[in-house]
């Protein structure tokens, strides 16, 4: 088989990287009997999804190592904290995903070649929320 004869399609490249932190929260807008109205904690997983229509050298959407500032932010701002006390919004997974997307766009995206497409926040193995970034937000 001649590998040089394989056609290369056009399309978009997508990568993802997961991060984790431990935190507690309560959702004050819920009725007193709701389990999430009580203080509780999660082993959060946060996944960033990045896209690009072309690859940066040596063939990356973004070097995974360039995402280290995001992990440092998660650790310093959220790890082993009460999210209700540190977030400027109600600490639902949906709001956390959108907040983290905004922080990433402001603080990491300007220095990397890929574009943030989404942030996924997982509270448990079975429960997650995803915020999809509209391209106009990034100016691309």
pLDDT beyond 90 at 27: no
In the chain, where the domains are located:
3-138
- The pLDDT, as a whole number, for residue 136 is 56
3-state secondary structure the chain: CCHHHCCCCCCCEEEEEEEEEEEEECCCCCCCCCHHHCCEEEEEEEEEEEEECCCECCCECCCHHHHHHHHHHHHHHCCCEEHHHHCCCCCCHHHHHHHHHHHHHHHCHHHCCCEEEEEEEECCCCCEEEEECCHHHHCC
Top-level class of domain 3-138: alpha beta
pTM of the model: 0.90
Q: What is the mean pLDDT of the chain?
A: 93
- The pLDDT, as a whole number, for residue 138 is 43
Tens-place pLDDT, residues 48-76: 999 999 999 999 999 999 999 999 999 99
């Amino acid at each position: 088989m001649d590998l040089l004869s394989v056609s290369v399609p056009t399309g978009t490249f997508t990568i993802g990287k997961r991060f984790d932190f431990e935190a507690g929260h309560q959702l004050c807008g819920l009725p007193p009997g709701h389990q999430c109205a009580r203080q509780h904690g999660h082993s959060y997983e946060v996944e960033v999804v990045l896209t690009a229509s072309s690859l940066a050298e040596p063939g990356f959407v973004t070097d995974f190592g360039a995402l280290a500032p995001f992990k440092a932010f998660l650790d310093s701002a959220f790890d082993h904290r009460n999210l209700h006390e540190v977030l400027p919004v109600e600490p639902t997974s949906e709001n956390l995903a959108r907040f983290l997307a905004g922080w990433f766009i402001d603080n990491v995206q300007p220095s990397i070649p890929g574009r943030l497409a989404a942030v996924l926040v997982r509270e448990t193995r079975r429960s997650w929320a995803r915020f999809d970034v509209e391209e106009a937000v990034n100016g691309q």
